[in-house]
Amino acid sequence: MIQTIAIVVVALLIVVPLVLKFLIGPRFIGNTEVGIVEKTWGGGHLNTHIIALNGEAGFQPEVLRGGLHFKPGYRFRIHRVPLVTIHRGQIGYVFARDGQPLGRFAETAEVAA
């Protein structure tokens, strides 16, 4: 009897966290990271773009900031990547692979000190 109870308790300790991760999907993103959201399945598909703007499967336009977020594990994959910071006195180059091109005068910016 005690052996059966021990087996059930061990099974619950293994199964319950896996089910919670699968259904609720708690994800913690550190303060020096961002989370890139990828929808693993959903309506429609991308033909010409990299970013899924209308809820299709693929990379979503939202980025998760530091903290605790809940995205179901069966539907979303979260890629944790380091936060890019450009320090004062340095130049950062942004290369966009999707979206509309920048306007004529939107190519440089100045940081207020």
> When comparing pLDDT for 72 and 79, which is higher?
79
Say whether pLDDT at 76 is over 80: yes
Mean of the per-residue pLDDT values for the chain?
83
pLDDT given at position 108: 60
Q: How confident is the model at residue 41 (pLDDT cuts 50, 70, 90)?
A: confident
Say whether pLDDT at 73 is over 60: yes
User: Whole-prediction pTM value?
Assistant: 0.68
Say whether pLDDT at 56 is over 80: yes
Q: How many CB atoms lie under 10 A from the CB of residue 25?
A: 17
Q: How far, in Å, CA of 101 to CA of 105, rounded?
A: 11
pLDDT given at position 67: 94
CA 29 from centroid of its chain's CA atoms: 9
Q: How many CA atoms lie within 13 A of 89 on its CB side?
A: 0
Say whether pLDDT at 105 is over 70: no
> When comparing pLDDT for 98 and 8, which is higher?
8
Q: How many CA atoms lie within 13 A of 60 on its CB side?
A: 20
